Structure 1
């Protein structure tokens, strides 16, 4: 890792502080950024996510995708964790903490809202940010793309029924525009741009040199995204730090628990590290754009459910960076 990447946690912490400060001293700027939306996808954040994802997509070699079928175990772990385990453990943790552990600290109606927000997070596996985590762990670009693509297809059909079942309701309004636009913006278009770039560069040496030049922009995009997200939610953080801390507890436990489960399964099943690390990180990370959008559409902008999904955004980056560091330290344990 470069010196800049080695201290990425420090830059992220500074970006968090800068975002909160920016939200306090320049609220008009933050409001302008928040208003730049299409189907509840923030276009400014979309550009920054593009900066994160594009370097990874340039590394996707189409000829290597046919070799993915030789490693079905990594994909199987991802699908089992994401769709048969994660949504239900997140719902269970929400009930345990907000109906039992924190019952004396939170109003029962608010508690139900927070549980609903956690369910939305648990049912939405990551689409875009996982490419950054995969890159930081030297993951297999082609395999990561396959895992994300399969998850996206399943999400179209499974997200609403799972959320409806766990929320105990029958009429879930999924913002399909947000879902489709996010997949197109964060997966399809960057992939097309990456393949076109590879075709224009031609040789492997030129592709490698180009990736080395653009790789720093991936980290810049991550830091700028964190700063904007914290700027957008800075006032919420300052107004209710105690509530945010309580909501963060089950999210953090879920994140480390899901990673441990997937990573251990990959180790036992002898999945190579370049596949094992991304497959565990996909299950740990969340598609927060979709979770936030659904929470707002179902419960309202100022609801407890929307707040819980926003806390998921705030918690995700530092937690994921710690897991990336752990995955890199344990690389030699894998065959």
Structure 2
């Protein structure tokens, strides 16, 4: 693969660096809004057509579309020069991660946390965690790759291939795992969600790339539309927590309980992927992003599908948003570890 030079200094923008803080602020505003003007959130929640909330659909598109413009399937042809990194990513993302997340969710919410959580709420939290586990990262992984001085072109290849697989594998894996945990799966809604939030944005992104033409024009365009992605995420979180306010205020411990299996899963998946890359002597500039993709989550998709399948009021939607809250601190700690262990990997 071509070694793409990295910019000096931190490539994280203000939003990425303080993502957890913005989400925490959106949560607080949402809780206040839910108490002062509950009718506003309820009106938004009622704006549904065919199990798709129209307001949330627009917000999710605002989040997902800019990242899909970055997907370049033309770079996939170069993967033969370094197949091991991609192989590790695919095995971890699709054969390990969804199943370990489901296992941890069941372990904690059906057994360890059973005295603290009502069974019907536990089932919802399990569903939300399954959705997170089945959606490998698409956007933020470019930030993590830059922070570890990863090969930008190879990272693009890994993300592009994962997105292709997601089109055909996400729905069956989610349906399988939800079925195993005895959660009823509305297949039509699940497939509609995949088409609406993966297939169509991906096609729109590819079309946009073809119209813009050059990499420079694509970069300028994505920088212009990035604020809409930020706004979409923050407003979605505010809506969710304005509806979830009574549940959270009655049991604020629930946020911590949901976060525990997510954190364990994140560190565990990183150990598996990063350890496999070290054992196979994958160069660090490929090994670090390879491990980051599986560790991080495509939380935009998880949030959207949770809302479509279970509703804005659901515990499943709440669980996916908690994933957003804990992701940045966890990932930054793993970036620091990857940078400290660079010398243990081949340089090229």
- TM-score, normalising length from structure 2? 0.75
Q: Distance in 2 between matches of 1:70 and 1:38?
A: 47
The reply to whether residue 10 of structure 1 matches residue 21 of structure 2 is yes
Q: 2:231 aligns with which of 206, 220, 239?
A: 220
* CA–CA distance in structure 2, aligned partners of residues 93 and 242 of structure 1: 18
Distance in 2, matches of 1:119 and 1:23, equals: 25
The superposition leaves residues 170-197 of structure 1 with CA deviations (integer Å, 9 ceiling, x where unpaired) of xx64222322222222222222222222
Query: Which ranges of structure 2 fall in alignment gaps of 5 or more residues?
Result: 1-11, 146-151
SS in 2 for 1:132: coil
Is the Cα contact below 8 Å between 2:136 and 2:298 reproduced in 1?
A: no
Cα distance between partner residues in 2 of 1:255 and 1:286: 18
Distance 1:257 1:285 in 2: 22
From 21, 25, 50, the equivalent of 2:61 is 50
Query: What is the aligned partner in structure 2 of residue 149 from structure 1?
Result: 164
1:326 is aligned, of 305, 308, 333, to: 333
- Name the SS of the counterpart of 1:130 in structure 2: coil
User: Which residue of structure 1 aligns with residue 293 of structure 2?
Assistant: 278
- Over 3 Å counting, the alpha-carbon distance change for 1:42 and 1:214 in structure 2 is same
The partner residue of 2:40 within 29, 39, 57 is 29
Secondary structure of the 1:174 match is coil
Q: Decide whether the 8 Å contact of 2:31 with 2:245 is kept in 1.
A: yes
TM-score by length of 1: 0.77
Q: Is the 8 A contact 1:21 1:231 kept in 2?
A: yes
| Long gaps (5+) in structure 1 | none
Compared with structure 1, are the counterparts of its residues 263 and 235 closer, same or farther at alpha carbon in structure 2 (3 Å cutoff)? farther
Specify whether residues 156 and 209 from structure 1 end up closer, same or farther in structure 2 by C-alpha distance, changes over 3 A only.
closer
- Could you give the per-residue CA deviations for residues 87-118 of structure 1, whole angstroms, max 9, x where no partner exists? 55445545554565445x447xx34x455345
Counterpart of 2:195 (choices 168, 181, 184) is: 184
Q: Distance in 1 between matches of 2:121 and 2:97?
A: 17
RMSD between superposed Cα atoms in Å: 3.5
Query: Cα offset for 1:147?
Result: 1.0
1:128/1:186 contact within 8 Å kept: no
What is the CA-CA distance between 1:30 and the residue it aligns to? 0.5
8 Å CA contact 1:49–1:128 kept in 2: the answer is no
Structure 1 match to 2:141:
134
Looking at structure 2, the residues matched to 189 and 36 of structure 1 have their Cα atoms a distance apart, in angstroms, of 21
Tell me how far 1:23 sits from its aligned partner.
1.4
Corresponding pairs, count = 319
Deviation of 1:69 (Å) = 5.0
